[in-house]
Each structure stands twice: as C-alpha cells, then as structure tokens.
Amino acid sequence: MPIHLDRARPAGRQVEAEVRRLIRSGALGAGAALPSTRVLAADLALSRGVIVGAYAQLAAEGYLVTRRGAAPLVAALPLEPRSQLEQDVHVAAARFNLRPDLPDLALFPRADWLSASRAAMRRAADTDLAYGEPFGSVELRAQLAAFLSRTRGTVGVHNRIGVHAGSTQALFTLANVLRLNGATRLGVEDPGHRWRTGTLAASGLEIVPVPCDDEGLRTDRLDGLDAVVLSPEHSFPLGLTLSPHRRRALVQWAVANDTIVIEHDYDGHFRYDRAPTAALQALAPEHVAYVGTASAILAPTIRLGWSLLPLRLVEGVAGYTARNLFALPRLEQLTLAEFIARGYLDRQLRRARSAYKRRRDLVAATVPVGRARGGLFVCLPLGSTADEARVLAAARADGFALDGVQANAIGSAEPGLVIGFAASSEPALQRALRRLMAAARP
Amino acid sequence: MPIHLDRARPAGRQVEAEVRRLIRSGALGAGAALPSTRVLAADLALSRGVIVGAYAQLAAEGYLVTRRGAAPLVAALPLEPRSQLEQDVHVAAARFNLRPDLPDLALFPRADWLSASRAAMRRAADTDLAYGEPFGSVELRAQLAAFLSRTRGTVGVHNRIGVHAGSTQALFTLANVLRLNGATRLGVEDPGHRWRTGTLAASGLEIVPVPCDDEGLRTDRLDGLDAVVLSPEHSFPLGLTLSPHRRRALVQWAVANDTIVIEHDYDGHFRYDRAPTAALQALAPEHVAYVGTASAILAPTIRLGWSLLPLRLVEGVAGYTARNLFALPRLEQLTLAEFIARGYLDRQLRRARSAYKRRRDLVAATVPVGRARGGLFVCLPLGSTADEARVLAAARADGFALDGVQANAIGSAEPGLVIGFAASSEPALQRALRRLMAAARP
C-alpha cells in the first residue's frame, strides 16, 4: 500500500487519511484485504497500536469491515458518479451603477457601525450569546418602535414589532402565516417588484396582480382577495404614491372584510421636499402589517428587517420564524439598537437624504422625467412602441446596471426604464445618465 | 382644539402629530370640521403656511378630507378594537444550567471575534455591503470546506457548501427543497430533537419516526422513505453513535434508492478520547447532505450554519434561500471566514474540548451513566416506571434547565433525563449534579 507519511503530523491520522483516499479513489476496491496491523506497522516503522487505532477509526466510519483475527477488508461502498465542479457566478461590478434598489454604499458609516458593535459586545451578557427570541430582541424592538413612530408615523410599541433577517424574510413569513391562517389569494401591485412576487408566490398563495393607475393601486379591484401587498408611499417600479382617497378606501376595504394589507416600505424614509407621508399602518394597525428594512437606510448586507403587526399575527409570525430560523442573531440586533440609540441612524439618514436630493435634482435636469418626490429611483417611460427587453439588454451589454418596468410586470405594462440615482456619486451618475440618454436618442 | 406646542421642535410636525393623536383617540370624530387654517394659525400664533402644510400632510395620510374653500373634515376611519399590550416572555436564567444544547458561553472568544470583525469590515469593498449571494460568500465557503474536511473528514470543495442563517434554516430549506423535488415522506430518528422535527414538519413533508436501538437508527426501517434525518456521530437525546454496519447500510440504502440522507452534525466536533468519526457525508457525497452549525462550537447567537450538499441539491437550496432570505449577512460571514483563517476557531475548539472533557469526567463521577464519548450531554435513564414529565417539572420548578427523552419522542420511549454538561463551569456543574441526584434518590 503506497502510504507516504509526513513526520510533522500525527502518524495515525495520516494513515487514516491515506487509506481513506486510496479507497475513495478506487485504488483499493471493495473486498480488498488490507495488510495486517503487524505488517503495516513494520512497513511504516510505526507502533502497532497506531495502526490498530487507524483501522478502528476507518471501520467506525464505514470504510473497512473488521474480521476477528484477520486483516480488515475494504467495505463495499456504493459507487457514485464523480462530482463536477460548478462554476461560481461572478457578479461583476457595473460600470454604470443605476440600480434602483441600492443606496450609496460608500456612505455606509463603517466607523459608527463598528463602534456600536463594540459597545453591543461589551454590554452583552453571556446569556445573550445563546439563542435569541424568534420575534427579535426587546432592545432593538423598543428602539425601532420609537424610530419608526418618529420617522414614519407608525403606531404601536415593541410588543407588535418583529425583527426579521431582512424584509424579504418578513414578507415570506407573513405570506406563509396568512396561508396557514386560511388565506388563499394575495393581491400584489402590478407592475411590482419581481423578486417580491417570487418570494410571496413561494408561500403557496395564489398571486393576483392588481393594476395601478396614476393614483396608485386600484382599490376597486380587490374583490375576493384575502390580503394585498403594496408600497403606498412609493411603488416599485412606477414610483407612484397612493392617493389620499385610495388610502382611505384601502383601509376601509381591509376593516370591512377583515383582510390584511401588507405595507412594504422599502424606501419610504427618503422624501426630498417635505416630510414623508406617515405610514398607512397608523390608519388601521389591526389590519395593516408594516414591513421595513435596513437595506435602503444603511446597507443591504446588514440583513435586518422589521414588521409592525396586527396583534393577531404576532404569535403566528414568531412561531413561523422559530420553525424557519429558530432565532435572529443577537449581536447584530444589539448593534443596530445601539446605533439607533446613539442617534447614528438619524444622522446617517440626514446625510444620505441630502446626497440623494442632489442626485434626484441631477436626474431631473438630465432625464425627461419629473422630479421624484422620494425614493431611490425614477421611472422613464420609453414610449409604447419601444422594445424594453432590447433596450435593457443593450444597456447591460454596455455596462449599465438598471431595471425595467415590463421586467417587473405580471400583466401588460408600458415599457420603461427604472433608473436608480442613489447608488452612484454625482460625477458617476452624471456620466451614466448622459451616456444612457445619448444611447436612447439615436 | 387643544393643541400644545413645544417651541423646541418644528411647529408643523407638532400640529400634525397633535391632530393625528386627537383623531386616533376619538377626541375628533369622523365628519368633524377642523378650524380653518386662518383660525388655527391665529390661535397657535403660527404662520398660516405652517397649518396649510400640516393639513395637507394629514390629508395625504388619509386622516382628513379636504374641501375646496372650506376647512377640512375628519375622515371616516374604520373603528378598531383597542390593542392589548402583550406580555413579553421573560426567560429567566436557570439557577442550575444543564441545557444539553448550549456550549459554555463564558468561553466565547469575544476579543478574537471583535478583532476578526474589524478586519472583515476593513477588507470589505463597498460592493460587499450590497446583497450577498443566497448560497453564501465564497470566502467563507472556501474556509469551511477546508475546516470541515480537516475536522470532520467531509469531502467536497466550496461549490457544494452553502451558508445558512443557522442549522435550523439549513434543515428547513433542505426539507422544502426535497418537497419541491417531489419527496413526501421524511424519516427522523425517534426519539430526536423535538424542535428539529417541528422545523422539518413545517415544510409540509410527512414526518415518519424511525426507531433507534443501541446501534443507532434502525436502517431496516427505511422502506418507503424519500429521505431520512439523523445525527450519526451523536444522536439527540439518546447520545447514540451509528454503528459501522449501520453506516454502510444507510448509504447503501440511499444510493440504491436514490434517496437523501441528511446528516445533522450539531455537536460532532466534541469527542473526548480520540478523534471524531469522520462525517458520513464522505461515504456518499451525492446522497448525504451534511448540516453543521456555529452554535455548539462558538455560540448560538452567531446564527450561521452550513450545508455540504449533493450537487443536484445546490441550485434548489440556493433558490429557496433567495426566496426565503434573499441573501445572508456578508459582514458576519467575512468575520467567520477571517476567524477560521487566523486559526481562532481551531484554538477555540481545543480550549472548549479540554474544558468539556473535564466536565464529562465530572458527570461520569457523579451520575450513574457511562463516560460520554462525545457531545455536550449525557442521557440518564430514569427506569421504565418513572414519570418523566413529573420529574422534569419538579426539576424545573427547582431552577434546573434540562431536557427529557420522552419530551423528544414521537412514539414511545423509556423515560430519561438529558443532562448537558458543557454550559456550566465545573463548580456550578458539580452543585447542580449533586442536587439533581439528591432529588432523584428520595
């Protein structure tokens, strides 16, 4: 048996590894007898005890069949096709970053975050390092209650605020809890986030597209739905704000039919000319589930989101989260709680808002769209005869990262580009917009 | 209208908040006319523009109905029952901590973790702060491939290693992917982790209890199953190791029937008298999905787990994770990758193993059970006539945190206590064990 030993490492482990390798490679086939422990020990100039131990280990692992008074045999292992290496998907950074779903990551307050994280570690008790609560840490929930009330006009204290591993996980959980509670038909804004639709559909609920017009979601098209998901402050990809009349009609529908509205507030903290409209949730907290996220206001990789729930959904959401994730990471939750308590999040929002406002103005000056009232993107109609897919493909081939309207529609929609203005610095944004407009006008 | 202004804050926002509060509290009922902007401005000694802005905001939020040339009316908002505050569940720290699922959290290497976390933040590019890959960061997967191969004898490089938000999420995802691939019946060790069974059942698969004997899972009871979940190195709660014969029979079954074995390796890194048995996964990597976690080797609150998958499951697992979570937090993944690369994890394992070995010996000297070969707990049979639920309730009332065998069984099982020995320092462990044994012998 060709066994090569490296004297620097424990001999027994090396014998095990070598025999394992010979068996796995097929060099030692099923039924082959191994050298006796005495012979192999002599060959390798090792004590017999080392070989006995190695053989015992390999027998315990299933590679060898031991026989009383005889050398072990290679066990008959099932043959498997040899694995193929998969290619890793390399996502290159875009040359022209107009992604509508990203904040400017260069603005992420790394030093503040690290400092809050050190403080969180210092303050955490040993017991805080065990499993956390499936509904989130009370410290963070209390901070979020005050922050969301102050910045988004929500109502409700921490007992109805759940922490999630991002808003996607919040939406996935809510859809599953609604299904478990007997819901079958879930309405979504159409057009609407395609990944959000995918996540909601993965719950097993039937997804029903609800059309939108200039006032936002058509609230006269909700018959027969058990719940509806929308972004009243700023819809994706059209950037619509739900009109006051529709806001009232929507909560009236929810209360009258005892249905649930899921308010997906993914970029509602950004409104540039006045304070944002308060969350719809405040109008009917027992029928509107508010879902928010750290992605747009800090950075997506934080992977923390939150929900503000009708009380009757609290137990179901905590229970489903326990099945799905058992608990949320507590050090990150304590870090965010500290980050909010120190005023860092409000400061970060002020900084980002003022940068994005300048970029919003830059877009309005370069691209034929109105000034966006809020959010991180504008929607540029291409004209009903345009081929959106072709325009998008050409732009992507040219190094643009951006999105399209039809690409996010279930039913028919007018072609349009969804242009994010937050992710790039002003000079980079200007270059990207000019190049895009030059390409758009042949 | 009783509006009280605090001159330190913006007047308009305060007017909005006060009117909102009056409407929500019922003090201003539906249909009530508000003072005209001129009157209210005069009353509050504010400019009329401030009141116009506040009313417009409240109208946009749905609280007011504006009328051309007249003061606004309070909108008819649906009435909801007043919310009740839920009580937060306060989980008191146990006086006698014998939890079988926890490492000693006082051993968590806080300084090393913070230092790795600073390094990860320093090295992260801005683009690393965007959404991560749903299958995990390549850096961490590469580190895990080497670590798991070295410490658990797994085979396979990073292309088949997925990162998860804990091993619960890995199990939940695997069960769902198997269901989506057409599986219907999933076997589980019985008795087995009750929370694991709950998580697996939440996927919608039918859970089939598979009995165990002294050699571990009965591999002659797998007919008709599409997959089976077990912990071959150390089962919970009985602490069984799957015999060599059964290991071979299990992989033969999986390969012959093209079924899947899920190897749940929750505490397999702890073996006290010799090296752990290598993972079952190495015997049939295309039929065994290995699932591990940072919970026992670091701390549960890290919420990172991993899977080593048959290649045909990789795409499904990444896809389901994208629906469920979109992506995993990258800073924590980079921190763990750095922590492994610096050798901190191996050092931590050596430290913990040597502490737990002393505690294992202490248990063997105090409680009538054999010396555990590995893991974080021992199982103490109570005798077949004992009332396990009553013994557990009495112990818990006395301040013990521990678990029971029947409490984790689907079918019938002999009563027994599951006593964790890792979570408490030696003096605390000794006090707890003596008190437990004194109570057990009346």
Quote the pLDDT of residue B78.
63
Quote the pLDDT of residue B353.
96
- Hunting for tokens 């009316």 — which residue is that? B73
- Which of A303, A424, A425 is the best mutation test for B, with the most CBs of B within 10 A? A303
| A59-68, A71-80, A171-180, B400-409: the lowest-pLDDT one | A71-80
Chain A hits for B327, Cβ within 8 Å? 166, 300-301, 303
Task: Give B171: exposed, middle or buried? Use CB within 10 Å, 0-12, 13-18, 19+.
Answer: buried
Question: Do the Cβ atoms of B301 and A108 come within 8 Å?
Answer: no
Backbone angles phi, psi at A381, to 5 degrees: -65, 140
- Hunting for tokens 């399209």 — which residue is that? A404
pLDDT at B67 over 90: no
Quote the pLDDT of residue B94.
80
The two structure tokens encoding residue A249: 């009609």
pLDDT at B88 over 50: no
| Strand order across the beta sheet in which A377-381 lies | A377-381, A416-420, A403-404
pLDDT at B96 over 60: yes
pLDDT at B13 over 50: yes
CA B377 to chain centre: 19
Candidate from B102, B159, B283 with C-beta closest to A130: B102
Contacts A–B by Cβ distance under 8 A = 267
DSSP letter string, B87-147: PPP--PPPSEE--TT---GGG--HHHHHHHHHHHHHH--GGGGS---TT--HHHHHHHHHH
pLDDT band at A9; cut points 50, 70, 90: confident
Angle at B357 between CA B356 and CA B359, to 5 degrees: 60
| A100-109, A121-130, A177-186, A260-269: the lowest-pLDDT one | A121-130
CA distance B423 to B103: 5
Task: Give B289: exposed, middle or buried? Use CB within 10 Å, 0-12, 13-18, 19+.
Answer: buried
- Which of A98, A107, A128, A129 is the best mutation test for B, with the most CBs of B within 10 A? A129
DSSP-derived 3-state class of residue B48 = helix
Candidate from A114, A254, A332 with C-beta closest to B118: A114
Question: Do the Cβ atoms of A159 and B86 come within 8 Å?
Answer: yes
Candidate from B157, B247, B314 with C-beta closest to A61: B247
Average pLDDT over residues B354-367: 96
Q: Specify the DSSP element, H or E, that contains B289.
A: strand B288-293
Residue A248 to chain B, least CA–CA distance (Å): 6
CA distance B25 to B82: 10
| DSSP summary character for residue B29 | -
Q: CB–CB of B222/B187 below 8 Å?
A: yes
pLDDT at B102 over 90: yes
Query: What does the mean pLDDT of chain A come to?
Result: 90
Nearest residue to A187 (alpha-carbon basis) of A233, A253, A244: A253
Residue A434's CB: how many other CB atoms inside 10 A?
12
CA distance A161 to A180: 20
pLDDT at B91 over 70: no
Residue A202 to chain B, least CA–CA distance (Å): 7
- Which of A16, A58, A61 is the best mutation test for B, with the most CBs of B within 10 A? A61
Q: CB–CB of A137/A337 below 8 Å?
A: yes
pLDDT per position as a tens digit, B148-182: 998 998 988 778 899 999 999 999 999 999 999 99
Average pLDDT over residues A328-342: 95
Which residue did the predictor score with more confidence, A90 or B104?
B104
Question: Do the Cβ atoms of A303 and B108 come within 8 Å?
Answer: no
pLDDT band at B6; cut points 50, 70, 90: confident
A301 has which bridge partners? none
Average pLDDT over residues B114-138: 91
Q: CB–CB of B231/B237 below 8 Å?
A: no
Angle at A197 between CA A194 and CA A199, to 5 degrees: 110
Candidate from A80, A157, A325 with C-beta closest to B284: A80
Quote the pLDDT of residue B92.
47
Candidate from A166, A241, A286 with C-beta closest to B326: A166
CA separation (Å) from B353 to B217, B347, B429? 26, 10, 16
Residue B185's CB: how many other CB atoms inside 10 A?
15
Quote the pLDDT of residue B266.
96
Could you write out the three-class secondary structure of chain A? CCCCCCCCCCHHHHHHHHHHHHHHHCCCCCCCECCCHHHHHHHHCCCHHHHHHHHHHHHHCCCEEEECCEEEEECCCCCCCCCCCCCCCCCCCCCEECCCCCCCHHHCCHHHHHHHHHHHHHHCCHHHHCCCCCCCCHHHHHHHHHHHHHHHCCCCCHHHEEEECCHHHHHHHHHHHHHHCCCCEEEEEECCCHHHHHHHHCCCCEEEEEEEECCEECHHHCCCCCEEEECCCCCCCCCCCCCHHHHHHHHHHHHHHCCEEEEECCCCCCECCCCCCCCHHHHCCCCEEEEEECCCCCCHHHCCEEEECCHHHHHHHHHHHHHHHCCCCHHHHHHHHHHHHCCHHHHHHHHHHHHHHHHHHHHHHHCCCCCCCECCEEEEECCCCCCHHHHHHHHHHCCEECEECHHHCCCCCCCEEEEECCCCCHHHHHHHHHHHHHHHCC
pLDDT band at B441; cut points 50, 70, 90: low
CA distance B152 to A44: 25
Chain B hits for A255, Cβ within 8 Å? 78-80
B227 has which bridge partners? B186, B260
pLDDT per position as a tens digit, A142-188: 899 989 998 998 988 778 899 999 999 999 999 999 999 999 999 99
- Which of B89, B163, B283 is the best mutation test for A, with the most CBs of A within 10 A? B283
- Hunting for tokens 């019922």 — which residue is that? B26
The two structure tokens encoding residue A46: 């090792």
- Which of A131, A133, A321 is the best mutation test for B, with the most CBs of B within 10 A? A131
| Cα nearest neighbour of A118 on chain B | B114
% of chain B exceeding 90 in pLDDT: 71
Chain A hits for B179, Cβ within 8 Å? none
Provide CB contacts within 8 A for B100, sequence distance 6+.
Answer: B236, B237, B376, B377, B402, B403, B418, B419, B420
% of chain A exceeding 70 in pLDDT: 95
Backbone angles phi, psi at A278, to 5 degrees: -65, 160
Nearest residue to B148 (alpha-carbon basis) of B3, B281, B286: B281
CA separation (Å) from B17 to A279, A280, B9, B55? 13, 15, 12, 11
- Which of A108, A128, A326, A373 is the best mutation test for B, with the most CBs of B within 10 A? A326
pLDDT band at A338; cut points 50, 70, 90: very high
| Cα nearest neighbour of B324 on chain A | A169
Q: CB–CB of B255/A66 below 8 Å?
A: no
pLDDT per position as a tens digit, A229-254: 999 999 999 999 999 899 999 999 99
Q: Specify the DSSP element, H or E, that contains B398.
A: none
Average pLDDT over residues B407-414: 94
Q: Could you tell me the pTM of the whole model?
A: 0.85
Give the side-chain half-sphere CA count within 13 A for A299: 24
pLDDT per position as a tens digit, B224-258: 999 999 999 999 999 999 998 999 999 999 999 99
Candidate from A118, A158, A301 with C-beta closest to B331: A301
Quote the pLDDT of residue B340.
95
Average pLDDT over residues B302-322: 94
Chain A hits for B324, Cβ within 8 Å? 168-169, 172, 199, 202, 324
| DSSP summary character for residue B170 | H
Q: Are strands A216-217 and A227-230 parallel, antiparallel or unpaired?
A: unpaired
- Helix and strand numbers (H, E) in chain B are 13, 15
Q: Are strands A260-264 and A377-381 parallel, antiparallel or unpaired?
A: unpaired
The two structure tokens encoding residue B266: 């929750």
| Cα nearest neighbour of B83 on chain A | A311
What's the ipTM? 0.85
Residue B383 to chain A, least CA–CA distance (Å): 30
- B10, B16, B22, B26: CA torsion to nearest 10: -160
Chain A hits for B128, Cβ within 8 Å? 301
Chain B hits for A290, Cβ within 8 Å? none
CA distance B147 to A305: 31
pLDDT at A93 over 90: no
Question: Do the Cβ atoms of A118 and B113 come within 8 Å?
Answer: no
CA distance B428 to A199: 47
Quote the pLDDT of residue A3.
77
Candidate from B65, B105, B329 with C-beta closest to A127: B105
| Cα nearest neighbour of A330 on chain B | B301
Residue type, B119: A
Provide CB contacts within 8 A for A441, sequence distance 6+.
Answer: none
DSSP letter string, B207-267: EEEEEEETTEE-GGG-TT-SEEEE-SSS-TTT-----HHHHHHHHHHHHHHT-EEEEE-SS
Chain A hits for B247, Cβ within 8 Å? 60-62
Nearest residue to B229 (alpha-carbon basis) of B285, B270, B278, B290: B290
pLDDT at B58 over 60: yes
Which residue did the predictor score with more confidence, A178 or B274?
A178
Quote the pLDDT of residue B148.
94
- A370, A374, A375, A376: CA torsion to nearest 10: 50
CA distance B323 to A172: 7
Q: Specify the DSSP element, H or E, that contains B340.
A: helix B330-341
| DSSP summary character for residue B164 | E
- Hunting for tokens 């009995």 — which residue is that? B211
Per-residue exposure over B74-88, b if at least 16 CB sit within 10 Å of its own CB, e if not? bbebbeeeeeeeeee
Rg of chain B in Å (alpha carbons): 29
% of chain A exceeding 90 in pLDDT: 71
Residue B145 to chain A, least CA–CA distance (Å): 14
CA distance A253 to A287: 10
Candidate from A65, A102, A326 with C-beta closest to B168: A326
Candidate from B198, B283, B301 with C-beta closest to A129: B301
Quote the pLDDT of residue B83.
37
Q: CB–CB of A117/B117 below 8 Å?
A: yes
Chain A hits for B331, Cβ within 8 Å? 301-302
pLDDT at A88 over 90: no
| DSSP summary character for residue B8 | T
pLDDT at A370 over 90: no
Residue B176 to chain A, least CA–CA distance (Å): 10
| A33-42, A429-438, B90-99, B334-343: the lowest-pLDDT one | B90-99
Candidate from A57, A114, A168 with C-beta closest to B275: A57
Angle at B23 between CA B22 and CA B24, to 5 degrees: 95
CA distance B170 to B264: 10
| Cα nearest neighbour of B121 on chain A | A110
| Cα nearest neighbour of B138 on chain A | A88
